[in-house]
Structure 1
Amino acid sequence: MSDTPWVEAGDKAPAFTLTSDSGEKVRLSELKGQPVVLYFYPKDDTPGCTLEACAFRDQSARLKKLGAVVLGVSPDDAASHEKFREKYELNFPLLVDADHKIAEKYGAWREKNMYGKKSLGIQRSTFLIDPAGKVAKVWKRVKVDGHDQQVLDAISELAE
């Protein structure tokens, strides 16, 4: 289903319950009252995904100060997520979306074209969910460089 529409700013964030790298269930409904940075990435321990995860890790003090929670989501399994998190000392949960149902709900599961070969997969994207559970901002086709700052700026605007 690559023609799934994107969730857009102003939409109610689709609910989810996913298992984290530590085996805990993470429910979006339990995070109400704080901004949530929900980012979808293709694969653990690949160059772009590592840069993105480390950028969010390095911004954790500023994100915490703004009351924000970061959640990374990919189709990788919990063991892969755990290895990735430990290797790079990531300080936020990585969630397992093995059947990519949540990525599909958000519109992040898209047709991709790599060297002329079409396949379905995660398109790197980030959704900022406001404390009331509405999508405040969407970044589609994320370019990793500077993305952490864009997200911080958007969270700061929410707080104003």
Structure 2
Amino acid sequence: MTRAPEVGAAAPDFALPGLLLSSDAVRRREYRLADAKGRPLVLVFYPGDGTMVCTKQLCSYTSELDRFKDLGADVWAVSPQDLDSHEKFARKHGLAFPLLYDEGQAVAAAFGIRAPGVGPRRSVFVLDGDGVVRWRHIALVGLTFRSTDTLVEQLALLRDGR
């Protein structure tokens, strides 16, 4: 099994299909790590659309999305459900950032967070504008998640050059 990238290491490159709900329209396109170059990226891996903890986590990030944007950061969420599932999930909860489809969990495996027989571990990676991991949290069980406050604190440290 591949190990998760350490803080200070480049994040594994990827290209995944994804979608973004804006107003009532859904835009589907390919998302590449290179697309985020020049801006911090909060990359959220979550086990499943519509599950209790995942819903609470992604809704909390959406409700405070301006805090991420104020620090110049984008938020992308990745799970193994397909785009139709993501669209239904985004519409039901008004999720306002891209949801990416990791078919076969190749990207979760590249990030070292795929748990055999379970799927991706609930994980968050904060990447700088060059795609370098500056902070990470990988849950062992995944019944809780990192708060917006924690992520914003890490982004502020990144902005301040610490």
TM-score normalized with structure 2 length: 0.88
- Determine the C-alpha separation between the residues in 2 that align with 1:146 and 1:123: 13
Structure 1 residue 4 displacement after superposition: 2.4
Task: Please say if residues 75 and 99 of structure 1, whose CA atoms lie closer than 8 Å, have aligned partners that are also in contact.
Answer: yes
Do structure 1's residue 55 and structure 2's residue 60 form an aligned pair? Answer: yes
Structure 1 residue 143 displacement after superposition: 5.5
Which residue of 2 is the match for residue 151 of structure 1?
Answer: 151
Gap change, CA 1:152 and 1:13, over 3 Å in 2: same
The alignment's C-alpha RMSD in Å is 1.3
- Determine the C-alpha separation between the residues in 2 that align with 1:60 and 1:45: 19
Q: How does 1:1-160 map to 2 (within 5 A)?
A: 3-21=1-19, 22-111=27-116, 119-141=117-139, 144=144, 147-160=147-160
Q: Which stretches in structure 2 are left out of the alignment for 5+ residues?
A: 20-26
Task: Please say if residues 51 and 144 of structure 1, whose CA atoms lie closer than 8 Å, have aligned partners that are also in contact.
Answer: no
TM-score normalized with structure 1 length: 0.89
Gap change, CA 1:146 and 1:38, over 3 Å in 2: closer
Structure 1 residue 123 displacement after superposition: 0.5
Structure 1 residue 120 displacement after superposition: 3.6
Structure 1 residue 145 displacement after superposition: 5.2
**Which consecutive aligned stretches of 4+ in structure 1 deviate over 6 angstroms post-superposition?**
none
Q: Which stretches in structure 1 are left out of the alignment for 5+ residues?
A: 112-118
Percent identity between the aligned chains? 36
Structure 1 stretch 15-24 or stretch 40-49: which is displaced more? 15-24
- Determine the C-alpha separation between the residues in 2 that align with 1:35 and 1:153: 13
